[in-house]
Amino acid sequence: MPETTDATVNALREEQDFLDLADRRRRDLLAELRTQLRAPVQDRTDQHRRALLAARLRALTEADHGLVLGRIDTVDAATHRIGRIGVPRADGGEPLVLDWRAEAARPFYTATALEPQGLVRRRHIRTEGARVIGVDDEDLTRDGSAGGLVGEAALLSALDERRTGRMGTAVATLQREQDAIVRAPADAPLVVQGGPGTGKTVVALHRIAYLLFAQPGIARRGVLLLGPSRRFLRYVEQVLPALGETAVVSTTCDALVPGAAVERSESRVLAEIKGRALWWDAIVGHVRSLVPAAADLVLVLDGERYEISQARVAAALRSSLAGDRSLLAARGLAFAALHDALVDAVVERTTTLLSTVEEGFEDILGSVDSALARSDDRAVRTGASSSQVDGELSEADIEDLRVRVESDTRVRAALERWWPEPAPRAVLQALLHDAPTLGRAARGLTAAEVTAVVAEPAGLAPSDIPLLGAVTALIGTADVAVDDAAPFLAARASADHGWTYGHVVIDEAQELSAMQWHMVRRRCPTGSLTAVGDIDQTEAPHRHTDWEGALSPALGDRWRRADLSICYRTPREVMALVPPILDRAGSSNEPPRAVRSSGREPREVTVAPAGLVGLVAAEVAAWEREYANGSVGVVAAPAHLDPLRAVLPGLPVVSALEAKGLEWDACVVVDPAGIADEPRGWNALYVAVTRCTQALLQVHVG
């Protein structure tokens, strides 16, 4: 219709003019920042300020895409543009562009016709670089709503875009239930349950960006993002910088202990055994057993032997071990207490010796004075008295003695022989590879389980990393001085065993073992964490089948839950396959509701084993032509991974576990029965069939 066309043309021109204005202002700000950063550093405070300016420079540079993504018009005729990052006006007035995370921008994500929140219109603005390519308007004065969706046209347009193998931001199309989680309070653990395609990862990443913007305390300590695999982290790595945030450490549980890495694989049986919560108490007891027993202790200073009594040693151990401190911290306090004991012993012996000498010396001096008096009244008297030769050391003498004791190498060597400094990895190996020690420490293990653990080869398996982390935390490491006023540095945080983050986000959280949860919890003692996942997609060998079982060892009942109920990624045609798979997986959850259709029914073919690789290669080639600007992925049963990777180099050919969090336009699932036959196989098949946004092919081997 001509009116609609004219209105659209006018809207595009209007938004293009504004985008040009905002981009000019952005470029002016970039020039100002570069000028300030070229000036010489004045002092430490200036250095901190410059780091913040550099972060702002990066954010404004990244904002060349999505500088303006939306607009809201209010009932009082005010207009606000929403963007990936806030852009201030030159005169310091109301921002030219509101940061999407600002409270004033929230109605853009939450207003509906039923609850307009003071808005009369919402406009989604689609851009390519500095060019406006589309607008979608919603009149919020009319009754009704687009099936519960915010900005339905913009959302469905974004969902239909080709997948490039890298996740993009969804800041323009966040939905109400997603926005509520993004902005939820961060004062306690939050668990987000959502089926495939509900936007769990999108919510997690945008929540990080929001918290870093809204809570300076979290920004100072940074955010830890834990993903299920390196492949997943590469897939999402550009999202947070695109949102203007860099105060994030992204890693996996296997790499969370600095200086440690997985060196070998392990069986599911051993992974389950070593992931149980009982290991925390076992390790606590084992580390505590490294404390030496109280006994008489002989120390040598200046060639003299001094015996510290058993009672004094016991008191030193008792006071040093009180409280919640690491073994090394307790060891340092015990050494200091024994230094004091040695100083006391030296002072006591010296005082006794001087007192003995003084008594004899005073008698001699008295006789001399009498003789002098008899022989010559003019003679000078000695003037000696007990107050001047009193057999006591001065405070300065004692302080000098204390310094000598603390720096004496023989004293230090004797204390280190008495209580050697433990090496965390050696301590763990001593526990895991000695049956009597392990049996005493881990009383919850059966004799057969103890034997299985002890028989494992040397080298760290994935389940050993949390155990090593627990040992390291209990033993302790050297303190790292941190300037809380300094900007967050990811390299500093990731290399520090004791670094605690402002917030932790865990993706695919259902896969964590109890010991992995303990490891994560220590990284955020405040409990400010967000865990996203789908309990029905659990593939790990751990025994939990619900969130209560997964979280109780580390969090108890101190957590709250939020649910994502709408599937945005996987089309209705594919989600129709899900209910019987979930039934076989033993799920009691309702699958998410799909909101879009691809118009393509899933296909199934059966092929003889000899023809499997050729058929899959042909199907992939056909889809690569069809989705030339998108992506194709293959999820296969373990037995077929190597042959398929050999003929499909460069293509993602992954197991169901490796496919977690990933998506492609088209997906080939190879040997569904083989996937289902694996441990927790029906959960794995649920993952496999829900990776596509358009087309699905299941290849059966018959």
Residue-range domain boundaries for the chain: 2-145, 200-256+425-565, 291-421, 572-701
Q: Which of 160, 90, 154 is nearest to 127 (CA)?
A: 154
Cβ(688)–Cβ(659) below 8 Å = yes
* pLDDT higher than threshold 80 for residue 246: no
Q: What pLDDT, on a 0 to 100 scale, did the predictor assign at position 481?
A: 56
| pLDDT score at 350 | 85
Paired with 136 in beta bridges are 124
For position 324, what pLDDT does the model report? Answer: 84
pLDDT at 43: 74
DSSP state of 421: P
Confidence of residue 443 (pLDDT cuts 50, 70, 90): very high
**pLDDT tens digits for 59-87?**
888 777 778 989 999 999 999 999 988 99
Q: Does 200-256+425-565 carry CATH code 3.40.50?
A: yes
Query: 499-519, pLDDT tens digit by residue?
Result: 999 999 999 999 999 999 999
d(CA 340, CA 328): 18
Phi and psi angles of residue 126, each rounded to the nearest 5 degrees, phi first = -100, 130
Q: Cβ distance 561 to 533 under 8 Å?
A: no
Retrieve residue 78's tokens: 């005010």
Q: Are strands 70-74 and 79-83 parallel, antiparallel or unpaired?
A: antiparallel
The pLDDT confidence band at residue 172, using thresholds 50, 70 and 90, is: low
User: Percent of the chain scored above 90 by pLDDT?
Assistant: 57
Most confident range, picked from 34-48, 548-562, 613-627, 650-664: 613-627
Structure tokens at 503: 């917030």
CA 205 to CA 223: how far, in whole Å? 11
**Of 209 and 241, which is predicted with more confidence?**
209
Report the distance separating Cα 300 and Cα 607, nearest Å: 82
Least confident of 144-158, 397-411, 581-595: 144-158
Q: Residue 7: what pLDDT?
A: 82
By three-state DSSP, how is residue 231 classified?
helix
* Per-chain mean pLDDT for the chain: 86
Does residue 472 have a pLDDT over 50? Answer: yes
151 neighbors 138 (Cβ within 8 angstroms): yes
pLDDT computed for residue 486 by the predictor: 59
What percentage of residues in the chain have a pLDDT greater than 70?
87
Task: Evaluate whether the domain defined by 572-701 bears CATH number 1.20.1050.10.
Answer: no
Q: What average pLDDT does the segment 653-679 reach?
A: 93
Contacts of 578 (CB under 8 A, 6+ apart): 591, 686, 689, 690
Cα angle 498, 502, 506; round to 5 = 90
Give backbone dihedrals phi and psi of 98, rounded to 5 degrees, phi first: -80, 135
Q: Is-contact 490 187, C-beta < 8 A? A: no
Res. 340 pLDDT band, cuts 50 70 90: very high
Give the pLDDT of residue 60: 86
User: For the ranges 78-82, 167-171, 222-226, 363-367, which has the lowest average pLDDT?
Assistant: 167-171
Model confidence band, residue 484 (pLDDT cutoffs 50, 70, 90)? low
pLDDT of residue 159: 46
The DSSP secondary-structure symbol of 576 reads T
- Is-contact 659 684, C-beta < 8 A? no
Q: Which two tokens stand for residue 266?
A: 């392990």
3-state secondary structure of 445: coil
